[in-house]
Amino acid sequence: MTGLFLINILLALAWGAVTGSFAEVNLFFGFVLGMLALYIIREQVGSDRYLRRFWLIFVLALTFVYELVLSALRVAAIVLRPKIDLKPGIIAYPLTVDRDFEITMLANLITLTPGTLSVDVSEDRSTLYVHCIDVPDKQATIDDIKNGFERQILEAFR
Amino acid sequence: MTPIYEIAVGIVLVVGSIFSLIATIGLLRLKDVYMRMHAGSKAGTLGSGLMLIALAVHAGQVDVLTRALAGVVFFLLTAPVAAHLLAKAAYQAGYKPCADTHIDEMADEAS
């Protein structure tokens, strides 16, 4: 995995050397070309997983931006309403991910998504406390996170 | 720089400012610190991010572009952490959620 990433960077540098330009855009293009090369020889060096992971992280980043826009719009709708009538609450979310950086990532994603804000993690790292700005149905919110971000994180980093 | 670019940059700037304005209104109108963090962390991040992107497009130079994008990435990384820590600190300092809060499983846990 790390090895293939280094090979990909080497390929990008080689592209830079061959074309005689180490400008950022050209190196990035070389990186993409390197990925393409790794894709062509995927059956020989087993780069399938590597490329798939790149793709999943890319999708995760896109989801992140998309959810951020959604949540900003939702906050805007709430704030600009003439009468603010909400049912906020702090719910306990049972974590499936258990590595530190995955929990951090999930907590950050939760904070940037519509109506949720992570407040604390329990001592044993099994529960994430989430503040919801409007939570008529607690289980629906938990299911949303379970089937959305947590699954994506598990797919991208496992 | 064609007129289309200029118009696009202008629109993105205005939209970004509107989101920043909404974040501010949210800080004033919402009831407790936890709900205010929602407004600050989301609308605020999107507002600043959009304005940085508008700047990057307007400048049209690679070094400005990379710096603006780095700014956006750092915003996306730090805003949730800051919101999370403020909420956690407020809770540990004993700041109770407002009366409308109908579930508080953190309090249930502690008691």
Query: pLDDT for A68-87, tens place per residue?
Result: 888 888 888 887 877 777 77
Q: Do A90 and B45 touch (CB under 8 A)?
A: no
Q: Nearest CA to CA, how far is B3 from chain A (Å)? A: 25
From first to last of its 111 residues, what are the pLDDT tens digits of chain B? 678 888 888 999 999 999 899 888 888 887 788 888 888 888 888 888 889 988 888 887 878 888 888 888 888 878 888 888 888 888 888 777 776 666 666 666 554
Q: Nearest CA to CA, how far is A95 from chain B (Å)? A: 15
- Strands A127-132 and A89-94 turn out to be antiparallel
Q: Which domain holds residue A25?
A: 2-46
- Strands A127-132 and A116-121 turn out to be antiparallel
Which residues does chain B have within 8 Å of residue A133's beta carbon, measured at their own beta carbons? 35, 38
Q: Do A112 and B31 touch (CB under 8 A)?
A: no
- Could you give the number of structural domains in chain A? 2
Q: Are residues A23 and A96 in the same domain?
A: no
Q: Are residues A68 and A102 in the same domain?
A: yes
Which of A75, A86, A92 is opposite residue B39, by nearest beta carbon? A75
Cross-sheet strand order for the sheet of A127-132: A116-121, A127-132, A89-94, B103-104
Question: Is pLDDT above 80 for A98?
Answer: no
Question: Stretch A85-113: mean pLDDT, rounded?
Answer: 79
Q: Are residues A84 and A6 in the same domain?
A: no
Q: Are residues A116 and A98 in the same domain?
A: yes
- How do residues B63-78 score in pLDDT, each as one tens digit? 888 888 888 888 887 8
Which residues does chain A have within 8 Å of residue B61's beta carbon, measured at their own beta carbons? none
Q: Are residues A129 and A108 in the same domain?
A: yes
Q: Across all residues in chain B, what is the average pLDDT?
A: 82
Q: Are residues A76 and A132 in the same domain?
A: yes
Q: Are residues A73 and A97 in the same domain?
A: yes
Question: Is pLDDT above 60 for A126?
Answer: yes
Q: Are residues A120 and A61 in the same domain?
A: yes
- How do residues A133-150 score in pLDDT, each as one tens digit? 777 777 777 887 788 777
